[in-house]
Amino acid sequence: MSHPTRRHIISIDDLSTEELDRIVRRGVQYAAGELEDARPLHDAVVGVLFRKTSTRTRTAFSAGTLRLGGRLITYGPGDLQENTGESVEDTAAVLSGMIDVLVARTAGSEAELRAYADQRRMAVVNAMSADEHPTQALADLTTLMGTFGRIEGLRVLYIGEGNNTASALTLALSRYRNTELYLRTPPGYGVAGHYLERAAVNAKTTGARVEQRHDMDGLPPADVIYTTRWQTTGTAKPDPDWRRLFAPFQVGQAVMASSPDALFMHDLPAHRGEEVTAEVLDGPASIAFRQAENKYHSARAVLEWCTAGGALSDVLSREVVQP
């Protein structure tokens, strides 16, 4: 493929509100089976670099590449010469002359991914960094849009660690009008202040509400109750007694009863008996495995956007959310 400029997704904040909504709606179209003949990645080469374990994200982007007509190169944690001291900048300069997209899970800082993206020939997708997991948020919004037919006005209760999934979800949901995100996180394990500040800026335009508390008292009514596993990939807890702090934040039947009509979401992998009980995860309100499948549909939308950019506007006829 010959594109003078690629588009990167390192953070949700790299996307305008219109771009975010277009990608989400495109993911819904893929999930609905409307685009099974689409091959927008014909002859594109996608490199997939994962230094940390992954089931859903790695498979989603790998399968998505192949299904869209692209070609795939996979890199393990020790495959690149960075392992012997080559700089990220030099690695990016080399890879950008050979491949069209790099999907990278480094579990390191956003700055490292920005270094990969500091060129104009290769798109870079953050498949999870230490601070933010933007492709998870895109899959989550695809799930919400596909399930409810809208994102505007939805109420989401997020329970658990304020990790990279929570950070991305905070930025993404606050882009939609009148959404409500209630974060209930253990003391000392909340969403970082700068993400809340960025969400507050969005909320001034959209009327969204983002509230973080560190207790489980008086849970607000919600359309969706969301949790993640307590031990995030590639991280360790600084407090040896952390399980005592997290124990009240388990999602069980009592939590679900606080919003009897709520659906349950989980970014997986799950540890039944820790952050969620088996009765909830495997129960009738759970859409966690539909959410996991939407990783694949959303990944296709991301890959298409990164390589085709504005071409998405030619094939979407639905209205998009206006800032």
Q: Looking at the structure, tell me whether residues 182 and 237 fall in a common domain.
A: yes
Taking only the tens place, the pLDDT of each residue in 174-188 is 999 999 999 999 999
Q: Quote the CA–CA distance of 131 and 119 in Å, as a whole number.
A: 23
CATH, residue 22: 3.40.50.1370
Domain that holds residue 235: 134-291
Q: Looking at the structure, tell me whether residues 189 and 276 fall in a common domain.
A: yes
Q: Looking at the structure, tell me whether residues 210 and 235 fall in a common domain.
A: yes
Question: Are 147 and 173 contacting, i.e. CB atoms less than 8 angstroms apart?
Answer: no
Q: Looking at the structure, tell me whether residues 142 and 265 fall in a common domain.
A: yes
Q: Looking at the structure, tell me whether residues 159 and 269 fall in a common domain.
A: yes
pLDDT for the residue 3: 46
Taking only the tens place, the pLDDT of each residue in 97-106 is 999 999 999 8
As a whole-number percent, the residues of the chain with pLDDT over 90 amount to: 85
Q: Looking at the structure, tell me whether residues 145 and 274 fall in a common domain.
A: yes
Structural domain includes residue 2 = no
Q: Looking at the structure, tell me whether residues 39 and 151 fall in a common domain.
A: no
Given a cut of 80, is residue 279 above it in pLDDT? yes
Q: How confident is the model at residue 10 (pLDDT cuts 50, 70, 90)?
A: very high
Q: Looking at the structure, tell me whether residues 17 and 128 fall in a common domain.
A: yes
Strands 71-75 and 101-105: unpaired
DSSP state of 73: E
Taking only the tens place, the pLDDT of each residue in 211-238 is 999 999 999 999 999 999 998 765 678 8
Q: Looking at the structure, tell me whether residues 232 and 306 fall in a common domain.
A: no
Strands 180-184 and 101-105: unpaired
The count of structural domains within the chain is 2
191-230 in b/e form (b: 16+ CB < 10 A) is: beeebbebbeebbeebebbbebeeeeeebeebbbbbbbbb
Alpha-carbon distances, residue 263 vs 125, 173, 192, 208, 260 (angstroms): 29, 17, 26, 20, 9
Partners of 72 in beta bridges? 46
Residue range 112-134: mean pLDDT, rounded: 94
Q: Looking at the structure, tell me whether residues 127 and 22 fall in a common domain.
A: yes
Q: Looking at the structure, tell me whether residues 119 and 147 fall in a common domain.
A: no
Q: Looking at the structure, tell me whether residues 237 and 273 fall in a common domain.
A: yes
Given a cut of 80, is residue 284 above it in pLDDT? yes
Given a cut of 90, is residue 309 above it in pLDDT? no
- In this structure, the chain runs to a length of 323
Given a cut of 50, is residue 1 above it in pLDDT? no
CA nearest neighbour of 293 among 72, 60, 127? 60
